[in-house]
A and B are shown apart, each in its own frame.
Chain A
Amino acid sequence: MSGLHAELRLPRRGFELDARFDTPMSGVTALFGPSGSGKTTLLRCIAGLERAAQGRLEIDGECWQDAAQNIFLPVHRRRVGYMFQDARLFPHLSVRGNLEYGLARTPAATCRIAFDQAVDWAGIGPLLERRTPGLSGGERSRVALARTLLTSPRLLLLDEPLAALDHAARAEILPYLERLNRELSIPMLYVSHTTDEVARLADYMVCLERGRVSATGPVQDVLTRLDLPLAHTDEAAAVLDATVAGLDREFHLAELHFAGGSLQVADAGLAPGMPVRVQILARDVSLSLDAPQHTSILNILPARVAEIAPDRPAQALIRLDIGGTTLLARITRRSVAHLDLQPGHAVYAQVKSVALLR
Chain B
Amino acid sequence: MTLDPTPIWLTLRLASVSTLLLLIVATPLAWWLAHTRSILKTPIEATIALPLVLPPTVLGFYLLVGFAPHGIIGGPWQALTSSALAFSFAGLVVGSVIYSLPFVVQPLQNAFQAVGSGPLEAAATLGAGPLDRFFTVAVPLARHGFISAVTLGFAHTVGEFGVVLMIGGNIPGQTRVLSIAIYDHVERLEYAQAHWLSAGLLLFSFAVLFLVYFLNRRAAKA
Contact of A80 among B123, B125, B132 (CB under 8 A): B125
The distance in angstroms between the C-alpha atoms of A88 and B120, with both chains bound, is 9
Contact of B125 among A47, A86, A89, A91 (CB under 8 A): A47
Question: What are 14 A-B interface contacts by the 8 Å CB criterion?
Answer: A47-B125, A76-B132, A82-B121, A84-B121, A88-B122, A90-B122, A90-B137, A92-B143, A101-B128, A101-B136, A102-B126, A105-B127, A106-B127, A151-B125
Contact A75 B125 (CB under 8 A): yes
Contact of B119 among A49, A75, A90, A106 (CB under 8 A): A90
A79 within 8 A of B: yes
Query: Per DSSP, are chain B's interface residues mostly helix, strand or loop, or mixed?
Result: helix
Interface size class on chain A is: 20 to 34
Contact A105 B128 (CB under 8 A): yes
Min CB distance B71 to A, Å, is 41
Contact B141 A76 (CB under 8 A): no
Contact A101 B123 (CB under 8 A): yes
Contact of A81 among B118, B125, B141 (CB under 8 A): B125
Contact A102 B127 (CB under 8 A): yes
With A76-B129, A91-B141, A92-B140 in contact, do A49 and B124 touch (Cβ < 8 Å)?
yes
Find the B residue at minimum CB distance from A83: B125
Contact of A75 among B124, B136, B141 (CB under 8 A): B124
Find the A residue at minimum CB distance from B116: A88
With A49-B121, A88-B119 in contact, do A101 and B126 touch (Cβ < 8 Å)?
yes
CB contacts (< 8 Å) of A102 on chain B: these are 126-127
Contact of A84 among B118, B129, B141 (CB under 8 A): B118
Min CB distance A85 to B, Å, is 10
CB contacts (< 8 Å) of B123 on chain A: these are 90, 101
Binary contact readout B131-159 vs A (1 if CB under 8 angstroms, 0 otherwise) = 01100110011010000000000000000
Find the B residue at minimum CB distance from A82: B125
CB contacts (< 8 Å) of A91 on chain B: these are 119, 141
CB contacts (< 8 Å) of A84 on chain B: these are 118, 121-122
Contact B126 A147 (CB under 8 A): yes
With A91-B141, A92-B141 in contact, do A79 and B127 touch (Cβ < 8 Å)?
yes
Min CB distance A50 to B, Å, is 10
* Residues in A lying within 8 Å of B, measured CB to CB: 47-49, 74-76, 79-82, 84, 86, 88-92, 101-102, 105-106, 147-148, 151
Pairs of residues from A and B, 7 with the lowest C-beta to C-beta distance, nearest first: A105-B127, A102-B126, A88-B122, A75-B124, A82-B125, A92-B140, A76-B124
CB contacts (< 8 Å) of A90 on chain B: these are 119, 122-123, 137, 141
Contact A151 B124 (CB under 8 A): no
Contact B122 A82 (CB under 8 A): yes
Query: Per DSSP, are chain A's interface residues mostly helix, strand or loop, or mixed?
Result: loop
CB contacts (< 8 Å) of A48 on chain B: these are 124
A49-B124, A75-B125, A82-B121 known, 8 other contacts, Cβ within 8 Å = A74-B124, A76-B128, A84-B118, A86-B118, A89-B122, A92-B143, A147-B126, A151-B125
Find the B residue at minimum CB distance from A150: B126
The distance in angstroms between the C-alpha atoms of A147 and B119, with both chains bound, is 13
Find the B residue at minimum CB distance from A105: B127
The distance in angstroms between the C-alpha atoms of A106 and B140, with both chains bound, is 22
The distance in angstroms between the C-alpha atoms of A49 and B118, with both chains bound, is 11
Contact A88 B127 (CB under 8 A): no
CB contacts (< 8 Å) of A101 on chain B: these are 123, 126, 128, 136
The distance in angstroms between the C-alpha atoms of A86 and B119, with both chains bound, is 11
Find the A residue at minimum CB distance from B125: A82
The distance in angstroms between the C-alpha atoms of A86 and B116, with both chains bound, is 14
The distance in angstroms between the C-alpha atoms of A164 and B51, with both chains bound, is 45
With A90-B137, A91-B141, A92-B140 in contact, do A151 and B126 touch (Cβ < 8 Å)?
yes
The distance in angstroms between the C-alpha atoms of A49 and B141, with both chains bound, is 21
CB contacts (< 8 Å) of A151 on chain B: these are 125-127
The distance in angstroms between the C-alpha atoms of A80 and B121, with both chains bound, is 12
With A90-B137, A105-B127, A151-B127 in contact, do A75 and B121 touch (Cβ < 8 Å)?
yes
The distance in angstroms between the C-alpha atoms of A81 and B126, with both chains bound, is 7
Min CB distance A303 to B, Å, is 46
Find the B residue at minimum CB distance from A110: B127
The distance in angstroms between the C-alpha atoms of A49 and B121, with both chains bound, is 7
Find the A residue at minimum CB distance from B126: A102
Min CB distance A64 to B, Å, is 14
Find the A residue at minimum CB distance from B141: A92
CB contacts (< 8 Å) of A89 on chain B: these are 122
CB contacts (< 8 Å) of A74 on chain B: these are 124, 129
Binary contact readout B54-65 vs A (1 if CB under 8 angstroms, 0 otherwise) = 000000000000
CB contacts (< 8 Å) of B125 on chain A: these are 47, 49, 75-76, 80-82, 148, 151
Find the B residue at minimum CB distance from A48: B124
CB contacts (< 8 Å) of A82 on chain B: these are 121-122, 125
Min CB distance B117 to A, Å, is 9
The distance in angstroms between the C-alpha atoms of A92 and B138, with both chains bound, is 10
Min CB distance A341 to B, Å, is 52
The distance in angstroms between the C-alpha atoms of A89 and B121, with both chains bound, is 11
CB contacts (< 8 Å) of B127 on chain A: these are 76, 79, 102, 105-106, 151
